[in-house]
Amino acid sequence: METDYGALLRKSLQEFREGRISLARFVSDVDSIWESLEPSEAKDRIRGDWWTLEQVLAVDVIDRGLDTLPPDAEQLVAEALEGLESASRSLDSGSER
């Protein structure tokens, strides 16, 4: 049975948006999904959005120890989440597997 990576990505997105998992956990989930994908445009897009989230995590959460992200970091996260949502739909199309 083939794994539905689009659904897995959306599930993780939902859990993060609902506050059920941390940014660190979400970044790890996205990385795990990315590693499982075959080369494709969606995979490249996922990696770009993952990198944005990884930078926010490293700088604002780990280095600065912030509990609440500054507005510029919140905007970066929001844009990355939109990109990941779009990429998850591309994975569903079957052409990106």
Cα(82)–Cα(43) distance, integer angstroms: 15
The pLDDT of residue 96 is: 43
Tens digit of pLDDT for each residue in 13-46?
999 999 999 999 999 999 999 999 999 999 999 9
The pLDDT of residue 3 is: 86
The pLDDT of residue 51 is: 98
SS3 per-residue string spanning the chain: CCCCHHHHHHHHHHHHHCCCCCHHHHHHHHHHHHHHCCCCHHHHHHHHHHHHHHHHHHHHHHHCCCCCCCHHHHHHHHHHHHHHHHHHHHHHCCCCC
Tens digit of pLDDT for each residue in 40-97?
999 999 999 999 999 999 999 989 998 899 999 999 999 999 999 999 999 987 544 3
The pLDDT of residue 6 is: 96
The pLDDT of residue 97 is: 39
The pLDDT of residue 1 is: 54
The pLDDT of residue 92 is: 84
